[in-house]
Structure 1
């Protein structure tokens, strides 16, 4: 086994890691939610995110949750649950993830098997643009329909089309939300208190929802 340290992003990359070792580490680190593991055919990346990560992660989660509350859309929030498939030898932990269109398919399930059950409809990635491993390719292999990725300056909405991700202007899983709107609210979050920011976003969602109903 070899290791590569990547100091700027607080990463360590291990090569030659078995699937059993990856699964064991995933279980052992469940009590350390600040750690992110990415596994791809024997390569394991362990990342400790930088400080702004937690703030943006929660803000993007709030936008999803406010939108689904105001549109009365049932969801299942599974946070940074580990998603993996042994047959693909791939796995990762999103920063946030949600079942939306397929919420009923996993409602009440304590264990979700991606070889049988659908993957989450939406995954959120914060500040993983410098990941040593190609996390977006792993999401595609797992079949996650949509990924939002934000690096602190740029937000991209990726939609899975014919097995590959394409960037698009608006969300498919939450059609009220556009890339430019999400980015604008993330930018304004830096100059507003969080309570006021959530109220402003909720009011905007209500206005958009009224326009189409």
Structure 2
């Protein structure tokens, strides 16, 4: 049974549930952020086109896959000799347009622009180069990410990884990642994400680190 509590003192949604509020404004979204105070859950999303505020509270299986997927990306970045800045949790907002809280995100090419900042303001700062969402409790609102003009979005769902590349302000489903064009991301990563859940994250990551061929 879903349990949602909204008051001036707390905002609580039981794990494994999603709540959608229709006909919402930016002010409604900001009010819910205030109710949540300094907590990170439930995650809050706002899309001005749909006028919906979505709340999501994940299960442990969700968090485990997010953590493993994030660690796999870090291994790939190290292999390429690239630096990064990873954020989780983070709230990404453009006032009156969209507010999002990806499961994890990476600044790579734009890393220097946000180093040392306590808050990222997307009206002046660049968006992350990569955002990752794992869909268990809810379905990612891809259109909302378009409003933030985030270059690349990965959505992991049912042992499958979808890659979305921003082209002319809309996402195109892609077989390859612009960040890792020579690696078969869609084939390789889901195997190790699920291995991390069934056998343990450390085992999955050790095996992944020993790979010589990422095709």
Give the whole-Å Cα distance in 2 for the aligned partners of 1:197 and 1:74.
23
Could you say which residue in structure 1 is the equivalent of 2:68?
59
Give the whole-Å Cα distance in 2 for the aligned partners of 1:102 and 1:44.
29
**Larger deviation: 116-125 or 160-169?**
160-169
TM-score (norm 2): 0.81
Unaligned runs of 5+ in 1: 1-6
Task: Quickly say closer, same or farther: Cα 1:56–1:160, change in 2 above 3 A.
Answer: same
Give the whole-Å Cα distance in 1 for the aligned partners of 2:15 and 2:31.
27
Could you say which residue in structure 2 is the equivalent of 1:95?
103
Q: Does 1:40 align with 2:50?
A: no
Task: Quickly say closer, same or farther: Cα 1:31–1:174, change in 2 above 3 A.
Answer: farther
Of 165, 168, 173, which aligns to 1:162? 168
Task: Quickly say closer, same or farther: Cα 1:27–1:37, change in 2 above 3 A.
Answer: same
Q: Does 1:199 align with 2:206?
A: yes
- Tell me which protein shows more helix as a share of its residues: 1
Give the whole-Å Cα distance in 1 for the aligned partners of 2:54 and 2:168.
27
Could you say which residue in structure 1 is the equivalent of 2:11?
none
TM-score (norm 1): 0.82
Could you say which residue in structure 2 is the equivalent of 1:21?
28
Question: Deviation string for 1:127-177 (max 9, x for gaps)?
Answer: 16843xx61001111111111111132211111112221222221123335
Instruction: Judge conservation of contact 1:101–1:173 (CA < 8 Å) in 2.
Output: no
Cα distance, 1:86 vs. partner?
1.2
Give the whole-Å Cα distance in 2 for the aligned partners of 1:78 and 1:177.
24
Equivalenced residue count is: 200
Task: Tell me how large the CA RMSD over aligned residues is.
Answer: 2.6
Could you say which residue in structure 2 is the equivalent of 1:136?
142
Unaligned runs of 5+ in 2: 1-13
Question: Deviation string for 1:78-122 (max 9, x for gaps)?
Answer: 11311111142x111100011011111112222222122110110
